[in-house]
Amino acid sequence: MPDKQGGTGPVEARDASAPRLRASWQRSARYGVPDDEVNPVFTGSVDTSSLLYECGHEVLQGLHQTLANEPISLMLTDSDGLVLSRICGDSTITRSLDRVHLAPGFFFAESNAGTNGLGLALADRAPSLVRAAEHYCTSLRGYTCAAVPVLDPLSGELAGSVNLTTWSEQSSELLLALAQTAAGHTSALMLARASGRRPRRAPRGEVFRMYAEQVEPPPLSAGWEHPLMEAIDAMRRGQTVLVTGEPGAGKTALAAMARRELRPRERLLNARPPAPDDVRAWLTVWAPELGKESTCVVVSGVDTLPAWAASELGQRFSAAHVESGASPFVLTAVDPATLPESLVPHVDTVVEVPALRFRPDDVLPLAHHFARRVRGREVTFTPAAARALTAYDWPENVKQLRRVVREAASRSEVVDAPQLSAEIFTTAGHRLSRLQAMERDEIVRCLAQPGATVVGAATELGMGRATIYRKMAQYGIKARQLRS
């Protein structure tokens, strides 16, 4: 790729990074980023109250103590590339970075500053090292930047990045390793200070075939049927559908049901998003299936893909076509606004799946369906259990309902309130520590026993009556739902 100076571009130095750098340069050109100087957007305020800032700044301060005599600037950014903090003991490099606006309060994403370390790390959600001439903007070519994304340990969403910048002539062999260590420590500290909640399981990029019996739910309400029919109608017209909705709402299930309704004998694959480092292998596994006769791929979570992977996927979509005219793929994402730019032209229709809390009439039919799949026969839910299930808000949607019902049905063919997870009897609006969760579960267990009273539960737990009432209010425990 020719550069602005008539040379060979940024990709000769490191062949392994060439595809990502090339894609980043192309995006920078599309954004209209100047090639001679950085003109990033400035904001007058920086959020220093977030958990990311609290933990990241503390980690970088500790790292700075070991690098106090080195010309290295340590920076923390949010997910949009806004520089939140900068720590550096070298006044020369600090003044130099000020001149190119790599400072707190400035946005340094690719769309603002072209190809650079932190911008590439955020775009691809992967550790990135950008040296000297690999920068898109000539005014940044005096630096080497190593950046690593920081993921929220609970949601798995992109929280920001850690960026280490030094002079381009300095050795950069350890720079990326230091950035990776700092990002890892930041994420671990965020988890520790998020009241001990379990981290979200890392994406594994599964690719598997979906069979009809796996996606056949019971008859559901209009809240589900309307988007289903909308998707079927769009697919019948040969349009490519993007299914959106909250995590766990059933986006992939709806996409699969729509295809099954339209083409019952079709070979249906589901490709779930992988970890950033596994994208290349993930694409190799399933992308050749695109365009094969009577084959459709549901590509889930495309809004979580690195920018370079989304760009390559867009190219594969352009090349994939079948004689029947039906689109050989369906996409899912949480929000259409988060769809990667390179995939936008491939979407004809957006269908939204409502969250389960907006479809309360679907809770019990789905609960019976999931329970029947666990035991192989019908399972009974008592009135108390049914009330608890339908009254809960299900913040994790159908995925959470399936987990709760499977756990309960695995223990009994008659599911009563005591068999249900304690979490659905509470409305605590804050995160609980492990000890708090154990305390909540014990209170629920005592109150769910036949003939239980608050006074009796207080006695069994060794608490005063006022204390247990206070704990019930603290955890949002609804005693009435626990009684048959």
Per-residue pLDDT of 345-378, as tens digits, reads: 999 999 999 999 999 999 999 999 999 988 888 9
- Same domain assignment for residues 419 and 340: no
Per-residue pLDDT of 302-359, as tens digits, reads: 999 999 999 999 999 988 865 556 789 999 999 999 999 999 999 999 999 999 999 9
- Same domain assignment for residues 225 and 187: no
Question: How crowded is the C-beta side of 60, counted as CA atoms within 13 Å?
Answer: 27
pLDDT of residue 214: 66
Cα–Cα dist 244/71, whole Å:
46
Domain end, chosen from 298, 320, 354, is at 354
b vs e for 185-207, b when ≥16 Cβ sit within 10 Å of the residue's Cβ?
bbbebbbeebeeeebeeebebeb
Q: Which residues contact 85 (CB under 8 A, 6 or more apart)?
A: 46, 48, 53, 56, 57, 60, 75, 76, 104
198 part of a folded domain: no
- Same domain assignment for residues 187 and 42: yes
pLDDT of residue 320: 80
Cα–Cα dist 459/464, whole Å:
7
- Same domain assignment for residues 76 and 178: yes
- The chain-wide mean pLDDT, for the chain, equals 86
Cα–Cα dist 164/170, whole Å:
12
* Range in 42-51, 119-128, 160-169, 374-383 with the lowest mean pLDDT: 42-51
- Same domain assignment for residues 187 and 61: yes
Asked if 296 contacts 207 with a C-beta cutoff of 8 angstroms, the reply is: no
- Report which of 14, 28, 24, 29 is spatially closest to residue 308, judged by C-alpha positions: 24
- Same domain assignment for residues 165 and 255: no
pTM assigned to the model: 0.75
Q: E strands, 236-383, where?
A: 241-244, 267-271, 295-299, 329-333, 349-352, 380-381
Can you give the residue range of the structural domain that contains 404?
359-482
10 part of a folded domain: no
- Report which of 108, 113, 65, 107 is spatially closest to residue 89, judged by C-alpha positions: 65
One-letter amino acid of 434: R
Per-residue pLDDT of 9-61, as tens digits, reads: 554 444 556 889 999 999 999 989 999 888 878 887 788 889 999 999 999 99
pLDDT of residue 7: 40
- Same domain assignment for residues 117 and 188: yes
- Same domain assignment for residues 78 and 123: yes
